[in-house]
Structure 1
Amino acid sequence: MAKGLLMTYTLWAVGGPAGLHHLYLGRDSHALLWMLTLGGGGLGWLWEFWMLPSFVAQANRAQEQRQGSGRGTPPLSLIRFVAQMIVGMYFGLVALISLSFMASFYIVGLPLAVGLGVLLVAAIGNQTSDLKNTLGAAFLTSPIFYGRPIAILPISLAASITAQKHRRYKPSVGSETLSVRLYRLGLAYLAFTGPLVHSVLCHTAVTLSYVADTLGSFLSWFSFFPLLGRLLESVLLLPFRAWKLLVGDHGISSSYFQEWEKLYEFVHSFQDEKRQLALQEQCYNKYL
């Protein structure tokens, strides 16, 4: 059945951050990505407004594409490469929060999580990449930065480069029923969110410790790029500021949210420290 542009825009407006329009168009990997990231933090969802006509046209040409799939190499895409990097690090951060108690986490858990995030982006649309080579690059890079939360950055970089090197078109497959597709997406969603929710709700203090260590490592790497560092800090503080704006100070009176307020203060301290250093430097240059 041909896909309609009006229906696609309707689903995009109603349930876009949950990937309903991608599910309608048969783009299950894209739908799962949007489910796990809430539409790419909202930015990816808004940016898609101009891309929906091409998505619909691609879905309606699915039969022709399946006939010619697997031939040639897809063009190199900088946007896809950057998205692979970001999602790989995102998956790695979630794994640090929820699975870092594992004995062999930095050898098995972390590179597997980062590699799967990279592969998820690589599988968007009519493209995919090689599973073994991408995960192999992640596992080979992981021991070099063993025990360091910042390892998610080089692991994601290595896996993204490998995924781009082995990019290809998806082979032809038969159509699947909606129930099978929803079952597979549900399992993937639960596998991602289950350990995270359990860790956040049951081990708040430990979770905050890992988050703080990871954020501290990331922010220290951006000390040579002040503008980019301030932008990253503002993005990290945005969800907490939005929560305080919606519920007020009474919404964080419980001990649970007071623990998360400590994380807010931790990130905010980086901004205050950089402001003080900038003022000291200005005063020094003024009276030099």
Structure 2
Amino acid sequence: MAKSIIIAYILLIFGGFAGLHLLYLRRDKQAFLYWCTFGGYFGLAPLRDFFRLSSYVKEANNDSQYVADLAQQMRKNKKPPLNVTRFVAKILIGNAWCYLFIAAVPDEKIYGFSLHYLKYLGPFASALAVWLVGNIGRVKGSFKWCLYGAYSILPLTINNFHAINWSCVASAAFYEWKGKEWRRTPLPKHDFFAALGFMNVEQHSNNIHLAVVNSWLWVCGNETDQLGWAMY
């Protein structure tokens, strides 16, 4: 069944923060990222969607003019050109995931074991975010290049561990350099109400994301308490 632009706008207006319009238009990964960034960076992404929704609907419906324009772009460019907005989104979300993961690892020993080395999984979280942002719409890419890029900065962390936060930039750069290609098949079809079932998966994933945030807050609060600062 063809997607309705009217329904899409209604879902955007009343459920844009939850990504309902994206689930309706079969852009599940993008909807998931909205959940992980508290409504698409507090409403900025849904606001942008307001101006791009027509293109999303045409893509979901495999509109003949949209397909013709896409085919022309594919002939002109061997791989998708750089999208500055999406590149910035990769860096922002990748950096946020990396930072939250690292910050959630406590510095003190747990039952005599140090968990410090778990912080080196931060670039993995960064690469995962870059890959998810990169695999939206008619663009896809390999996760391995995101991972290679994220961990390419490890030598920089020998003298300065905080350099690990640059993993998101390196991951995004490697994705653009080697990992990106056109998605030549249409988006898989699914029923909107079946897509709402996907929200259960999103909810569990979001709970994990919130758990990491809560762990980070606990670690920060614990460190603050040890420094003797007043707790309110």
Query: TM-score per shorter chain, which class?
Result: 0.7 to 0.9
Match of 2:58 in 1: 57
Q: Is the 1:133–1:162 contact (alpha carbons within 8 Å) kept by the matching residues of 2? A: yes
Q: Structure 1: which 5+ residue stretches go unaligned?
A: 212-257, 262-288
Q: Is the 1:98–1:195 contact (alpha carbons within 8 Å) kept by the matching residues of 2? A: no
Distance change (3 Å), C-alpha of 1:99 and 1:28:
farther
Distance change (3 Å), C-alpha of 1:73 and 1:189:
farther
Overall identity of the aligned pairs, in %: 26
What do residues 43-81 of structure 1 show as CA deviations (whole Å, max 9, x unaligned)? 11112211111111111117985x969973112211111
- Which has the greater radius of gyration? 1
How much does 1:188 deviate?
A: 5.5
Residue of 65, 89, 95 corresponding to 2:95? 89
RMSD (Å) for aligned C-alpha atoms: 3.3
Q: Is the 2:87–2:172 contact (alpha carbons within 8 Å) kept by the matching residues of 1? A: yes
After TM superposition, the structure 1 = structure 2 runs for residues 1-288 of structure 1, keeping only pairs within 5 Å, are 1-37=1-37, 38-61=39-62, 72-99=78-105, 102-107=115-120, 109-145=121-157, 148-152=161-165, 154-165=166-177, 166-172=179-185, 175=188, 177-178=190-191, 186-187=200-201, 189-191=203-205, 193-194=207-208, 196-197=210-211, 200=214, 204-208=217-221, 259=231
How much does 1:144 deviate?
A: 2.3
Q: Structure 1 or 2: larger helix share? A: 1
Greater length-normalized contact order (CA 8 Å, ≥ 6 residues apart): 2
| Count of residues in correspondence between the two structures | 210
TM-score (norm 1): 0.62
What do residues 66-98 of structure 1 show as CA deviations (whole Å, max 9, x unaligned)? x96997311221111111111111111221233
Deviating more after overlay: 165-174 vs 73-82: 165-174
Return the alpha-carbon distance in structure 2 between the equivalents of residues 203 and 106 of structure 1: 12
TM-score (norm 2): 0.75
Q: Is the 2:79–2:182 contact (alpha carbons within 8 Å) kept by the matching residues of 1? A: yes
Q: Structure 2: which 5+ residue stretches go unaligned?
A: 108-114, 225-229
Q: Is the 2:79–2:181 contact (alpha carbons within 8 Å) kept by the matching residues of 1? A: yes
